[in-house]
């Protein structure tokens, strides 16, 4: 063991160099730089092992493989699965080929998507919606009938809309890795593959609710929140509680004074790092159950921040209080006798300024 | 060079006796007055007579029904979030079995309210609507309010009556990609 510290690799993504450890994927390296450079991800989910490589949303072009072998990779590669090499040059949004490919990916993902966003509870926080908005076309060329499925009941908490599913397998990995026993999976092949429990069975594991947060589209939604309200009319608040089974750190979604939904906290990549249990998610929907930490930070461009005004910004007395707090008495010791206005006799002001004649008491 | 040809040459010459007595001016003025007696009257006797306000006038809101008389609105909330005056509020509900003839989609607006005092008739709700459900009628205005409690319009006054369908013939308005079969010009 001569050197325990791993050598850092230098990768250039969209012209920005970043040093990462060996074994990092291109997507993680890009996320290290920032959200402007990071490729979109529909199926890759960092907390879930083995996720990624299914949706092709994160395709990037590798312009130079490494310092040793600087040939470009012949095809676009999925950045969530490709490990970086030293001296790799990656083109993400700077390459028109990548932008064009993403455009096609959006079209493929939306082929069988029902586009029922007005009805869907996920609208407003949907990864596919954001992805299509950023990278897709405004119209569809698809004219055939979209695939449909028989409605399946998978328990009292989770609503399954198979038509909206993009088969990212995130919920399968979640059930495998977070819960003790997985009862659902992807059944069938090709066009007929669908999420299901095979034999009609309710998903009732204690951590099963996390598949709702993990789902990038509205295929798995909260049945207790179904049609309660739109995401952008609710107010997200960070809160926590002493939970024996999970970390208890959640986001409460308020409508007025009423908690209408509880979700796990998502980071800037829309990923949950601390999964919460079903008791927190579905059964504790009272403000008194929670310790409120403060409003969740929502990005300015998100629709969730639309039409929200902080209560303290609306007070009409705010300006007055600010002026009172900022007020400083002026100690003006200058000699004012030479200022021209004072040299005029007070009678000159009598008409417009009577107080100039009368000496003040 | 003159910008217009309306410039009038004035002179300072001595007036005649008739001009000093203002006779031509009085006659000229009376002629103008009498001419107006025979003109067509521009006044419209509102409210007995109503003027056509044009094909794009934004008046009374209407929640459209589709061809089969089902309500189009799915309470998606886009009109409310687009509304700059925040005049629209709604409560969604799930369609039950047997209500398929009433509501077109799985979800419908159980309550849909527009505060007409807040509304500025900008038409952004109509533009935002993905289901072509809310329209601002070009042929009808919101009546004058008499009481403050009648300014919030609920579904009873907004949903299109089946015997009073609203048709807008404006072929220039395109459909949204969600519903290729539905054109705005049809009912």
pLDDT of residue A221: 92
pLDDT of residue A315: 55
pLDDT per position as a tens digit, A103-128: 999 999 998 898 888 999 999 899 99
Residues of B within 8 A of A229 (CB-CB) are 77, 92
Residues of A within 8 A of B130 (CB-CB) are 117-118
- Average pLDDT (A153-165) is 89
Torsion, Cα B96 B101 B107 B108, to 10 degrees, reads: -110
pLDDT per position as a tens digit, B4-62: 888 888 888 898 999 999 999 999 999 999 999 999 988 888 888 888 888 788 899 99
The CATH number of the domain holding residue A214 is: 3.30.70.20
Least confident of A32-41, A48-57, A61-70, A330-339: A330-339
Is residue A342 situated within a structural domain? no
Q: How far is B78 from chain A (nearest CA, A)?
A: 8
Give start and end residues of each alpha helix (H) in B21-165: 23-37, 78-82, 124-128, 155-158
Domain-by-domain residue ranges, chain B?
61-158
pLDDT of residue B115: 94
pLDDT of residue A143: 85
Same domain for A90 and A132? no
- Average pLDDT (A178-203) is 82
Identity of the residue in A115, A140, A233 whose CB atom sits nearest the CB atom of B77:
A233
Contact call for residues B56 and B62 (beta carbons, < 8 A): no
Contact call for residues A102 and A135 (beta carbons, < 8 A): yes
Residues of A within 8 A of B81 (CB-CB) are 230, 232-233, 303, 306-307
Substitution target in B87, B88, B178 with the highest count of A β-carbons within 10 Å is B178
Q: Is the ipTM of this complex over 0.85?
A: no
Label residue A275 left, alpha or beta by phi (over 0 means left) and psi (-120 to 50 means alpha).
beta
Is residue A22 situated within a structural domain? yes
User: Which of A202 and A64 is assigned the larger pLDDT?
Assistant: A64
| Number of independent structural domains in chain A | 2
Is residue A356 situated within a structural domain? no
Same domain for A284 and A234? yes
**Beta carbons of A232 and B178 less than 8 Å apart:** no
Q: How far is B83 from chain A (nearest CA, A)?
A: 9
Place of tokens 């989609």: B105
Place of tokens 């629209």: B88
Same domain for A79 and A165? no
In this structure, whether the domain defined by B61-158 belongs to CATH 3.40.190.10 is answered with no
Q: Which domain holds residue A77?
A: 9-101
* Torsion sign across C-alpha atoms A221, A173, A279, A243: negative
* Torsion sign across C-alpha atoms A125, A128, A129, A132: positive
- pLDDT band per the 50, 70, 90 thresholds, residue A336: low
Same domain for A198 and A293? yes
- pLDDT band per the 50, 70, 90 thresholds, residue A291: very high
Same domain for A175 and A249? yes
- pLDDT band per the 50, 70, 90 thresholds, residue A335: low
The CATH number of the domain holding residue A64 is: 3.10.20.740
Identity of the residue in B77, B86, B94 whose CB atom sits nearest the CB atom of A230:
B77
Dig out the tokens for A88 from the structure.
């790799």
Same domain for A133 and A274? yes
Whole-prediction pTM value?
Answer: 0.76
**Beta carbons of B94 and A227 less than 8 Å apart:** yes
Dig out the tokens for A238 from the structure.
């960070």
Q: Which of A158, A184, A156 is nearest to A170 (CA)?
A: A184
Q: Give A238-303 as a DSSP string.
A: EEE---SSS--EEEEEEETTEEEEEEE-B-TTS-BSS---HIIIII---GGGSEEEEEPP--TTSG
- pLDDT band per the 50, 70, 90 thresholds, residue A197: confident
Determine whether A53 is exposed, middle or buried from the number of CB atoms within 10 Å of its CB (0-12, 13-18, 19+).
middle
């Amino acid at each position: 063991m001569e050197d325990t510290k791993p050598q850092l690799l230098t990768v250039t993504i969209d012209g920005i160099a970043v040093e990462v450890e060996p074994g990092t994927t291109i997507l993680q390296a890009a996320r290290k730089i920032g959200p402007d450079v990071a490729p979109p991800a529909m199926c890759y989910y960092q907390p879930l092992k083995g996720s990624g490589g299914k949706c092709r949303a994160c395709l990037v072009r590798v312009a130079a493989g490494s310092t040793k072998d600087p040939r470009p990779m012949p095809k676009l590669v999925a950045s969530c699965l490709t490990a970086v090499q030293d001296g790799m040059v990656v083109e993400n949004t700077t390459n028109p080929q990548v932008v064009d490919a993403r455009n096609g990916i959006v079209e493929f993902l939306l082929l069988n998507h029902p586009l029922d966003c007005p009805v869907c509870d996920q609208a407003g926080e949907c990864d596919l919606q954001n992805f299509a908005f950023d990278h897709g076309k405004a119209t569809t060329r698809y004219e055939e009938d979209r695939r449909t499925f028989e409605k399946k009941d998978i328990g009292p908490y989770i609503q399954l809309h198979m038509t909206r599913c993009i088969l990212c397998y995130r919920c399968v990995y979640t059930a495998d890795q977070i819960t003790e026993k997985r009862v659902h999976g992807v059944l069938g092949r090709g066009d007929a593959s669908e999420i299901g429990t095979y034999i009609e069975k309710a998903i009732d594991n204690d951590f099963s609710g996390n598949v709702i947060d993990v789902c990038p589209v509205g295929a798995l939604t909260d049945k207790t929140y179904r049609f309660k309200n739109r995401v952008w009319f609710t107010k997200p608040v960070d809160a926590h509680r002493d939970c024996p089974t999970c970390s208890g750190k959640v986001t409460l979604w308020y409508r007025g004074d009423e908690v209408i939904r509880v979700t796990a906290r998502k980071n800037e990549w829309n990923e949950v790092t601390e999964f919460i249990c079903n008791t927190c998610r579905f059964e504790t929907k009272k403000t008194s159950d929670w310790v409120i930490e403060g409003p969740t930070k929502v990005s300015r461009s998100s629709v969730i921040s639309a039409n929200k005004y902080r209560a303290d910004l609306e007070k009409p007395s705010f300006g007055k209080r600010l002026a009172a707090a900022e007020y400083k008495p002026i100690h003006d010791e200058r000699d004012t006798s030479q200022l021209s206005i004072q040299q005029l006799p007070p009678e000159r002001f009598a008409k417009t300024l009577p107080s100039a004649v009368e000496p003040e008491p | 060079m003159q910008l217009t040809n309306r410039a009038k040459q004035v002179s300072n010459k001595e007036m005649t006796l008739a001009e000093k007595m203002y006779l031509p001016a009085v006659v000229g003025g009376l002629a103008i007055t009498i001419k107006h007696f025979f003109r067509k009257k521009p006044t419209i006797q509102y409210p007995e007579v109503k003027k056509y306000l044009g094909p794009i006038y934004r008046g009374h809101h209407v929640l459209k029904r589709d061809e089969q008389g089902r309500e189009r609105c799915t309470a998606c909330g886009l009109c409310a979030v687009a509304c700059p005056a925040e005049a629209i509020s709604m409560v969604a509900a799930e369609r039950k079995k047997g209500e398929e003839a009433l509501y077109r989609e799985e979800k419908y607006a159980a309550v849909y309210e527009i505060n007409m005092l807040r509304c500025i008739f900008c038409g952004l709700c109509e533009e935002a609507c993905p289901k072509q459900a809310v329209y601002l009628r070009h042929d009808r205005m919101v009546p004058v309010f008499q009481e403050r409690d009648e300014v919030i319009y609920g579904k009873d006054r907004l949903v299109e009556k089946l015997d009073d369908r609203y048709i807008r013939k404006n072929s220039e308005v395109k459909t949204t990609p969600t519903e290729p079969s539905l054109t705005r010009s049809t009912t």
